[in-house]
Structures are given as structure tokens and as C-alpha cells.
Amino acid sequence: MLPGCGGKALLSMSRSVRDAYRRGQEDETLEPLVLFNNGKAEGRIARGDSAIFYNIRGEREIELTESLTESGFSRFSTAGDLGLKFATMIEYRKGLPVLVAFPPEGAVSNTLSEVISRQGLEQVNVTEAEKAVHVSFFFGGKKRGDLPGREFLIVPTRKDVALFDEAPEMSIAEIADALIGRLRDPRWGFILANFPNVDVVGHIENKGAVIRAIEAVDSWTGKVLDEALRQGVTAVVTADHGTVEKWLYPDGAVDTGHTDSDVPFIIVGREKFALRNTGELSDIAPTVLELFGFPRPGEMTGRSLLAGGGRLPVKRILLLILDGWGYSEKTAGNLIAEARTPVMDGLMASYPWARLRAAGDAVGLPAGTVGNSEVGHLHIGAGRRIFSDRVRIDKAISDGSFRRNEAFLAAARHARETGGSLHLIGIVSFFSSHGSVDHLLALLDLAGREGVKNVFIHAMLGRRGEVPESGANYIEMIEKKTAETGIGRVVSVIGRYWSMDREENWDRIEKTYRMLVYGEGFPVGR
């Protein structure tokens, strides 16, 4: 049996993942598992090999990509310049020494931030480091860089806890204090803020911690809004997607993923504004511009939610995003309904509010898919629907252009012509916003068509929106597929906690690097 092909090692890695569950581990934080053959780690990344990092989204993929591709990388000790023919599914960061299969289609122009800047208002975007990329890169139309009059205030994310169920309040007090200070300063005409707790803690199967996170967000929202009212600032309260309002699957298992729920939209101020009953996230930017009395650019195809009432224009606006705060009328399995939320309950009883679509085609995703923070913030800031990378990639698979992609072909043919290996690195999931098993299967098909002999799969797991122990099920599915086709072998499995970081927790990335290159991890099949 050729190295890198299915065969007698069938199901060895999926069985090992199940064994890890019995040792008390779970998908998100799974310690690295490494396939061994005759006492040697199989399928390690070697100098001159090819690799395809097939994840999408991109912000959690930058650090690992840097460690594997940058010759001057110095965050931790490495094997030096590996000289890899390295391709990424999308552009993770401009300037990385990689081939990009699906490069950006062009920056989004005339975003809410840009219009406000051109109008001469000063604006500040506030959150903690965990969500910094969302209030900057994504909210700004996937563009980095400064705008006249715009500042970012990013509160450090705590690093004294492993997971945030240990501290569900996270840094919300510091974010709120920063917001209150900016509300008191009339210099700031537009203030954007994100409270990340419900989304971040909601991905952890700890009901008590999630309830604490919800109640912390509700309480601090009240304190911030009280100050906004005192300062005559009109506040817009909304969310980017749902999470814990659907905490249970129909069979009673816990669902720690995002949802397809609507999100609330409330305007809070001294004046009450009548609203349309329903809309979508792309309607928020046109609404803010109408509140200010600013013209809406033609690119913004979203519709203002205002339906009359209240005096226009307003002078200052706070846009407060309660990350992950979805809305559901059902109370069973609804942790937001179960928690004590007097502030949000009071707002929804006292002010007109609307339900906004925050999932599926409303945010440029395939119909029926759940929302996420990236597309949520992108659509809130852009004021129009923007097709996601997932839609582009799925279309390319469907029409056959995926297997003609020049970046993928360069990596595959390099491995074939040099006799080296092709490494497929990425999330193994149908539901993750970071990628799809379908993309991995399409790459295996491409490798087979190109005659690549040595194909190794390095899988990342993370139970977000998945049933318990879903990771082992995915790995088993892939192992059966590779045995059936004779193409590829799963040789590494690790939890996404260690491999998909965006807060410079370099010890986590080093663990993944050492698994990939040196074969360090729990040995399987030695």
C-alpha cells in the first residue's frame, strides 16, 4: 500500500479520537494525535513539500501560515525555511508568501465608516482583542488601514484563563468604561462597540457560564445606554447573529454553534422612531445614515428600517452589537429567555423594534446556513449583500473550475513532479464558518486526478454547531472515503484551539507546528 493512501490503517485515527473522548478530551481542545508507522511519525511536513491550507474566513489562519511559510519567522523555534509550495483557499493576509486560490474580488467601497468619515464626523470602534478584527477589518468592508477621524480602542483580552467559561464576563467592564468615557466626550459623533461574551462563551458547553455571560451583557448594556441617554446620544442596539437562543438540538443534545435565528434591532433615545417590523443586517447602515441625515451611496442596496416618527437628524449615534444575541419566541432550550435580562426585556417593551435576518442568503451565505460574526459585521458595515467565499468556492466545485484552479494545480503538480508530499490542512466540519468537508473532498479528488501519490490530511476539530463527539464521526467519514478511493490518509488530528488562534498565543501555534513538522503528539498505531 502506498504511503498516503487508504488501506489497513482504516479508522485508526477516528478510533483514537474516540479513545481521547474517553480520556476526558473534547474536539475543541483535543491534544494532537499523530499516526505512526513502524515507530516513525507518518506524513510529516518536510522541506520542499506542498501544502494546501483549505480553511476560509482567514483571520484565525494567519499565525499558523506564517510559521510554516515565512523564512524569517521567529515567534518560536522552527525547522527553518521549509521551502513549501504553499497554497491557501483565500487570502489570509496580503503579503504572505503563498499562492491564493480564491483571491479577493475587490474591496467593498462606500461602507458606513467611509461615509461617516467623509462627512467629517469623528468615530471610534471599541471592543476587546477577541473581536478586534470584526470591528475593524470586517466592519470596514474587508479593508485595513486608517480613515480620517477614525480610531480603534481595543481592550486586551484576558490571558489568565484557558477558556472563557472560567471568566464569562471577559473584559466587558473595561469595554463599557471605555464606551462611557467616549459618550461623555462630544468629539465622537459615531461610536461602534461590540460586547463579545454571548458568542464567545456560548461556544462552550457550560450552561451556567453562558447564563452569566448573557446577564453580564444585559447589565452592562443598561449602564452604557443610561449614559447615552444622559448625553443625548441615540443608541442602536442589535446583534450580528444568534447563538444560545437555540441551545439544544431536538434530541436534547447541546448545540454550541451559531444559529439561523433573526436578531433584534432597537433604536433607543430621547425620541422614539417607528420601524419596519422586519429587515436584514444590510439594512442597518442605511438606517444609521438616515438617522444622521447623510445621503446613502448607491452601492448600499440595503433599505432604511425607519418608518417615520422622531425628529431627524440626530447628532451622535452609538451602534452597540451584542455579539451572538439571537431572538427566538420559543423558550424551551433558549438560554437568553432563561437568563435574567431586565434591560433588554425593558427595551423591547418600551421601544419599537425590528427582527433582522442574520443568516443564509441575507448575509451572502448558502440558503439555510447559520450566520457568523464575520459576515454579520461585514453586512452591518457594508449596507448591502456580499457573496461569501464559501458561495464562490461551492460554485467552483459545482461547475468544475475548482479542479482547474491554478494555485491548487501548482501545489499538486509540484508534489507529483518532485516525489514529495501534498499536505491538506484544515477544519473537518460541514457547519464551521472556517470551511467544509466538501472542500477537502474536492481537493482529494483534484489530487487523484493529478496523480499525486503521497497525500496526507492534517485535520482540525472544533465542536461549534456540532453534536457531541462529531469530530470522530467526521474523521471516520474521511477515513472511509480515502480507503474507498485510495487517495489520502488522515495522519494528524488536533483541536482548533491549538491551531486557529488570532491573539498571538504562540504556544498554541507551536504545538500545532511541532505536530505537523516533528510528529509530536499522542502516537497512534505505533
Rounded distance, CA 291 to CA 206, Å? 40
One-letter amino acid at 173 equals A
One-letter amino acid at 333 equals G
- Residues with Cβ within 8 Å of 416's Cβ and at least 6 positions away in sequence, in order, are 450, 451, 452, 453
Supply the DSSP symbol for 119.
T
Cα dihedral 118, 374, 299, 88, rounded to 10, equals: 110
Cα dihedral 270, 276, 277, 281, rounded to 10, equals: -90
Supply the pLDDT for residue 139: 97
pLDDT tens digits, residue range 88-146?
999 999 999 999 999 987 779 999 999 999 999 999 999 999 999 999 999 999 888 88
Q: How far is CA 276 from CA 80, 187, 349, 359, in A?
A: 58, 31, 16, 19
Supply the pLDDT for residue 526: 63
Supply the pLDDT for residue 144: 81
Question: CB–CB of 192/175 below 8 Å?
Answer: no
What does the pLDDT average to over 480-508? 95
Spelled out in words, what is the top-level CATH class assigned to the domain 112-385? alpha beta
pLDDT tens digits, residue range 355-379?
999 999 999 998 889 999 999 999 9
| pLDDT tier at 14, thresholds 50, 70, 90 | very high
Q: How far is CA 201 from CA 73, 188, 216, 461, in A?
A: 32, 30, 12, 18
What does the pLDDT average to over 402-429? 97
Supply the pLDDT for residue 225: 98
Query: 8-17, 115-124, 140-149, 500-509 — which is least confidently predicted?
Result: 8-17
Question: CB–CB of 477/485 below 8 Å?
Answer: no
Q: Cα-flanking dihedrals φ and ψ of residue 101, to 5°?
A: -70, -45
Beta strands in 314-454, from DSSP E residues, in sequence order: 317-322, 353-357, 422-427
Listed in order, the ranges of the chain carrying CATH 3.40.720.10 are 112-385
Supply the pLDDT for residue 1: 32
Is 3.40.50.620 the CATH classification of the domain at 12-104+390-524? no
Closest CA to 425 of 7, 11, 65: 65
- Residues with Cβ within 8 Å of 491's Cβ and at least 6 positions away in sequence, in order, are 13, 34, 35, 41, 42, 43, 456, 457, 458
pLDDT tens digits, residue range 334-347?
999 999 999 999 99
- Identify the residue whose cell numbers are 509530536: 520
- The per-residue b/e assignment along 367-405, b for 16 or more CB within 10 angstroms, e otherwise, is eebbbbbbbbbbbbbbbbbbebbbeebbebbeeeebbeb
Supply the pLDDT for residue 465: 65
Model-level pTM? 0.77
Supply the pLDDT for residue 106: 72
| pLDDT tier at 165, thresholds 50, 70, 90 | very high
SS (HEC) of 291-327? HHCCCCCCCCCCCCCECCCCCCCCCCEEEEEECCCCE
Torsion region of 129: left, alpha or beta (phi above 0 gives left; psi -120 to 50 gives alpha): alpha
Cell of 37: 508507522
Is a pLDDT exceeding 90 seen at residue 309? Answer: no
What does the pLDDT average to over 303-331? 94
Listed in order, the ranges of the chain carrying CATH 3.40.1450.10 are 12-104+390-524
